[in-house]
């Protein structure tokens, strides 16, 4: 597995999430605009307020996803590290981990990789480790086999 392939897959997944959120926002705004004032004024205001809250939540998720995409863009993926750092692709005896953004399980061809933040418990444990290092995580021994 190559770091460039993982980065491309993560970027693609984040962009897909952004596209879906943008469509959700359009749908919510259309619903708000289509809300007609009924004879029960309070019901109309309550409905519009609920729609506005939903729009606000979607906008928050858009900002969060854009932040993740920006963080990914700022990583120096071409840099070869001897220790695990932000942007490292780490192969362990328990699988592949990409220390970049908290995205979870990602399929790249026939391989699986887990994109996680350095603030996640496992990400924090991986930071600073080098090839051959071993450590316990949730009662399981993890060995660093390679770092890209």
The answer to whether 95 touches 113, Cβ cutoff 8 Å, is yes
Mean pLDDT for 92-119 is 95
Lowest mean pLDDT among 13-17, 32-36, 50-54, 86-90: 32-36
Give the pLDDT band of residue 31 (cuts 50, 70, 90): confident
The answer to whether 90 touches 97, Cβ cutoff 8 Å, is yes
* Residue 105 in this model has a pLDDT that exceeds 60: yes
* Residue 78 in this model has a pLDDT that exceeds 90: no
Give the predicted TM-score (pTM) of the model: 0.81
Q: C-alpha distances in angstroms, 101 versus 44, 110, 148?
A: 41, 21, 16
- Domain boundaries, given as residue ranges, for the chain: 3-74, 89-147
The answer to whether 1 touches 96, Cβ cutoff 8 Å, is yes
* Residue 41 in this model has a pLDDT that exceeds 70: no
The answer to whether 97 touches 108, Cβ cutoff 8 Å, is no
The answer to whether 88 touches 148, Cβ cutoff 8 Å, is yes
């Amino acid at each position: 597995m190559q770091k460039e392939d993982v980065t491309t897959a993560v970027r693609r997944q984040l962009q897909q999430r952004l596209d879906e959120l943008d469509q959700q926002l359009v749908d919510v705004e259309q619903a708000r605009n289509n809300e007609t004032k009924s004879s029960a004024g309070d019901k109309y205001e309550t409905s519009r307020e609920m729609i506005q809250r939903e729009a606000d939540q979607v906008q928050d998720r858009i900002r969060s996803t854009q932040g993740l995409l920006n963080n990914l863009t700022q990583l120096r993926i071409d840099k070869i590290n001897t220790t695990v750092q932000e942007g490292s692709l780490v192969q362990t005896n328990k699988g592949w981990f990409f220390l970049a953004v908290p995205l979870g399980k990602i399929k790249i061809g026939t391989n699986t990789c887990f994109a996680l933040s350095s603030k996640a418990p496992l990400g924090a444990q991986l930071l600073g480790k080098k090839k051959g290092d071993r450590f316990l995580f949730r009662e399981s021994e993890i060995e660093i086999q390679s770092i890209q």
